[in-house]
Chains A and B, each alone.
Chain A
Amino acid sequence: MPSSVPRHWRENIKRYRLLGTKCVSCGTIHYPRRTVCPSCKAREMEEYQFKGSGKIYSYTIIRSPPEGYEFCKPYAAALIELEEGEIITAQLTDCNFDDLEIGLPVESVIRRMFAYGESGIIVYGYKFRPILPRM
């Protein structure tokens, strides 16, 4: 896999902070961010900060990973329905596979996603975990 710095650098802040867009015209929110609103075709967007909590909409356990992801196999992946209503794709972490179920509340954390080999860049981003008890 060729290592590309700009490809990840330009996405970093949005990935770390779950920054999406909100259509100025119709108010629809999007993650990933968009430049054209699929609901009303308007092209004026403002930044929208997602809170980072949600629940599992569906999930699976990946036992046969693609090249570059072997280091963490097997791992759980999910469609997460965010509190704001958007659904996004992410890995689940810090969890027992047997505890997973549709509807389980989860929260986002920053984790290593993959690395371009031993000497390449490391790509970080969000994963989700079952919500930890708060003090």
Chain B
Amino acid sequence: MQDVAIVGVGCTPVGEPWDKSLREIAVDSTWNALDDAGTDEVDGLVVGNMSSGNFIDQESLGSLIADYGGLGNISAFKVEGACGSAGAAFKAGVMAVASGYHDVVCVTGVEKMTDVVGNSATKILANACDREYEAIHGVTFVGLNAMIMKRYMHDYKVTREQISTFPVNSHKNGVKNPNAMFRREISLDTVLNSPMVADPLTVMDCAPICDGAASVILTTRERAREFTDTPVFIKGCSVKVDTIGVHDRATVTSMAATKAAAKDAFAQAKMEPKDIQTAELHDAFSIMGVIGLEDLGFVAAGKGAKFAADGEIAIGGKLPCCTMGGLKARGHPVGATGVYQIVELAKNIRGDGVIDVENGIAQNIGGTGSTVSVAILGRDD
């Protein structure tokens, strides 16, 4: 197996670009990454996307994006794992290069969510959980996360105030990111007093519905320097699954898939949580960020909210998290998010991000923890 490096990154601004279609943002982001790598050729394209068939009545994204991107008769297909689609696509791209099947691969995550109206998007997002035994009861995706949070608060005697420091941190970090959807700070009071979506989650605890595309160019260690002086290496990369339904888990307050993927990725990287300098967590809902800190091994179970409330996730804290706004402020175009995380992490590591670090970890969650990818990136040894 060969070492794999990121030699180009690109993305589109996250938001509601009503004048742009899915193919346009996907092609923009793909070429941003190709330009960044200084090349116009790839032999593989892996697309991360959750639900183009439902959002815009379009499938066959491998062909669509390769076609409109002018990439020719290359290998191209889509990988799906709900909101974790892009993390899964990233792993597929890493495997393609590591195995020697392809030399240069582009991974593009894309989602166009704003062509449908609010309650249609809510229904489509609920396809991430078990349609027959969860969603059919009218339980929304936010609702499932709300029940996880309610139980977490009950079991660990943690307050909403502590958990909801996550969106405050993400918004603060989003200010500096030109590609973030929300570039303004919010206060804890704003989060707590916003309209309730599903108790105890308010609208400001939840990542927005939005559009976006992000891309990375992957190649072998051997060829990396042809493209860049600052390649970022994939030290560990893992995708694991758990039950589709929250109700079938031994516990709802931690994610077995995150723990398994983290264990795998840390073993590949020959690293431990204490070695990690920054984390891009899947803070689609405040509680997910808190549980992510715990499942990745940074703090003990039940201690994540206090760690966040103490300021340790801020830039300058022990473990800066969601440094470019996270899902809450950068935005969460579901099937693109995992690649946005990789783009932001790679920038921080190679020197054109917002913090100076040698390594970092990204966690991308699909469903309520049904599909979780964990990637550890770092500079050359």
Show the binding face of A for B, using Cβ within 8 Å: 1, 11, 32, 38, 57-70, 72, 75, 77-79, 86-91, 102, 113-114, 123, 125, 127
Contact = CB atoms under 8 A, between A and B. Distances in A.
B148 interface: yes
7 contacts: A38-B243, A61-B199, A65-B138, A66-B119, A67-B120, A77-B137, A125-B136
Contacts of B146: 60
B186 interface: no
Nearest to B126: A66
Interface of B: 118-120, 122-123, 126, 130, 132-140, 142-144, 146-148, 150-151, 154, 195-201, 243, 245-248, 252
B198 A89 contact: no
A125 B247 contact: no
A86 B195 CA distance: 33
A75 B120 contact: no
Contact of A88 (B120, B123, B195, B247): B247
Contacts of B122: 64-67
B250 to A, nearest CB: 10
B342 to A, nearest CB: 30
Contacts of A70: 119
A125 B137 contact: yes
A72 B138 contact: yes
Nearest to B152: A58
Given A59-B150, A123-B136, A79 B119 contact: no
Nearest to B122: A66
Query: Of residues A59, A66, A67, A86, which shows the largest number of chain B Cβ atoms within 10 Å of its Cβ?
Result: A66
B193 to A, nearest CB: 15
Given A60-B143, A64-B122, A70-B119, A89 B137 contact: yes
B138 A113 contact: yes
A102 B154 contact: yes
- Main DSSP-derived SS at the B contact region: helix
Nearest to B197: A64
A89 B139 contact: yes
B137 A63 contact: no
A58 B136 contact: no
Contacts of A123: 136
Contacts of B120: 67
Given A62-B139, A102-B151, A89 B123 contact: no
B123 A60 contact: no
Contacts of A61: 196, 198-199
Query: Of residues B119, B134, B137, which shows the largest number of chain A Cβ atoms within 10 Å of its Cβ?
Result: B137
Contact of B198 (A64, A72, A79): A64
Nearest to A91: B137
Given A60-B199, A62-B198, A67-B120, A79 B133 contact: no
A51 B146 CA distance: 27
Nearest to B138: A69
Contacts of B150: 58-60, 102
Contacts of A60: 143, 146-147, 150, 198-201
Contacts of A67: 119-120, 122-123
A102 B252 CA distance: 14
A114 B136 CA distance: 8
A62 B150 CA distance: 13
A67 B122 CA distance: 7
Given A60-B147, A66-B126, A89-B144, 8 more contacts: A58-B147, A65-B138, A72-B138, A75-B138, A89-B139, A123-B136, A125-B136, A125-B137
A18 to B, nearest CB: 12
Contacts of A102: 150-151, 154
A113 B136 contact: yes
A67 to B, nearest CB: 4
B198 to A, nearest CB: 5
Contacts of A91: 137-139
A60 B201 CA distance: 9
